[in-house]
Chain A
Amino acid sequence: MNLLHFFMENRGQILELSLEHLWLVGISTLIAVLIGIPLGILSARWPVWNRPVLGTANIIQTIPSLALFGFLLPVPWIGERADRLAILALTLYALLPVIRNTYTGIRSVDPAVIEAGRGMGLTGRQLLLQVELPLALSVILSGVRVAVVISVGLATIAAAIGAGGLGEFIFRGLAMVNNQLILAGAIPAAVLALSADFGLGWLEKRMRPR
């Protein structure tokens, strides 16, 4: 059975695992954005937070992913369900790009713009919401893009601990020494990563300030 035929035969399972994969990536990226952007704003506003926040995110990134999954297994509630564990781990890994790019994006707003805004009597919140964030949006999106692409790759490893997703095909294929099964996992995962990269990159360009 050639590869295309295999894909057609198993398209139900491929679709289902792709959706599981998307779910893992989507939820974790969303949480990372909800936590990471405020943290990025915090460290941009008050530089004293810069070192601890970015430093912690950096340390988390250096932990090998499979090891992180292993660390979290004995944790109550989180470790009981593999998808919770995977979502937590993926969120942690997505934090660094989001925080760092939010920080950079805000810091790279033209200081003259900030000074004019403050001098005009914009409150801190108005300055943030109407000036700094819109101008930093493109850079922040770039961070989200990196986070998503990393997550798609990491989520394939999540299958090793039973969280499902396209990695399951890969591990099963490895155990059965079945190339078609491996590709049934690897190809959709690559397509997901590429589409996310392309789509978010396009959005990023639209948002870029002149």
Chain B
Amino acid sequence: MIRKHQPRRRIPDVRLLSCILCIIFPLILSSCAPSHANRVVIGSKNFTESLMLGEIIAQEIEARTHLKVERRFYLAGSYICQQAILAGRIDLYPEYTGTALTAILKQPIGSEKSDIYQRVKQEYETRLDLTLGPPFGFNNTFAMEIRGHDARRLNLKTLSQASAYAPQWRAGFGYEFMERPDGYKGLAAAYNLHFAAPPRIMDLGLLAPALKDRQIDIAAGNATDGLIAAFDLFALEDDRHYFPPYEAMAVVRQQTLQLHPEVAAALAALGGKISDQEMQKLNYALDGLHRDPKDVAHEFLLSKGLLP
């Protein structure tokens, strides 16, 4: 043992003190955390449309209420957002009915597609202490996109028609589309799609450029993709109605609405105000023109007379 000549205080005192401190200190800190008393935290997923919706909701609430709005955008996906809202780290975020049903509630689509919004709302309210705001008015379902040039040349309008050419094509999909129950697997079965090689998997943002540059021939994009017009892409019609509807709305904590009923009013004001085309234009403003989301959101709300 190393012998040092230093006077030492009694161990028990220091030990006891530090034990007490280690337990109490974090608890004190936690209670100092800013409360939700007069603020609302809005989350969004990590792609353009979600970000756009998040910003629009945020500015509407800021304009209509006296609440402070905190933005926690670019959360990495549906699961992350779900965990965050359940834990109370965020108060609301924009979601889609189809995603909520299959990926979060983990239920099958079923044959009746018209009442998905109601089903989701009921499940959320009874099981999860969450509720839905009114739909924004557009349906961002999956859209199988091909180059406009090919669509015109081969006279293709629907997916059934396109499936004949599948063996000659290279497909490109995002991670979620490959894994989700309402994604590739079901689609291939519904339309009898057989590609020569396994589909390439890549980031959502890279799909459109890859399609344009002929690295892939068909991609699973979204109906409201901003780059559809810009890159001269064509969205094939889902004639067998495989894809469920993906109506967009806000998912919000019931506790938040009880604490701040004015949030419900703000969400109601946004109900039905964004059409498919309008969403496409908003997305294009970000993806194609690289404008600031705050400016785009502000302009949109102004044009719709939504800023009181």
Contacts and interface: CB of A to CB of B under 8 A. Distances in A.
Do A and B assemble together?
Answer: yes
A175 B45 CA distance: 10
Interface string A1-17: 00000000000110110
Nearest to A176: B74
A19 interface: yes
Contacts of B2: 210
A68 interface: no
Interface in B134-173: none
A132 interface: no
Interface residues of A, number: 31
A206 B7 CA distance: 11
A137 B14 CA distance: 12
Interface string B221-258: 00000000000000000000000000000000000000
B197 interface: no
Nearest to A172: B74
Given A134-B11, A172-B46, A176-B74, A19 B33 contact: yes
A209 B4 CA distance: 9
A17 B18 CA distance: 25
A22 B18 contact: no
Interface in A1-49: 12-13, 15-16, 19-20, 22-23, 26, 30
B286 interface: no
Given A13-B72, A137-B15, A210-B1, A82 B87 contact: yes
A161 B30 contact: no
Contacts of A168: 72, 75
B264 interface: no
A23 B83 contact: no
B80 interface: yes
A23 B84 contact: no
Contacts of A210: 1-4, 6, 8
A206 B1 contact: no
A203 B79 CA distance: 40
A19 B30 CA distance: 6
B245 to A, nearest CB: 26
A163 interface: yes
A176 B50 CA distance: 13
A207 B34 CA distance: 37
A199 to B, nearest CB: 9
A206 to B, nearest CB: 6
B1 A23 contact: no
Nearest to A26: B26
Given A160-B76, A172-B75, A175-B46, A13 B70 contact: yes
Interface of B: 1-4, 6, 8, 11, 14-15, 18, 22-23, 26, 29-30, 32-34, 46, 70, 72-76, 79-84, 86-87, 89
Interface of A: 12-13, 15-16, 19-20, 22-23, 26, 30, 81-83, 110, 134, 137, 160-164, 168, 171-172, 175-176, 203, 206-207, 209-210
6 contacts: A13-B72, A16-B34, A81-B83, A160-B76, A164-B84, A172-B74
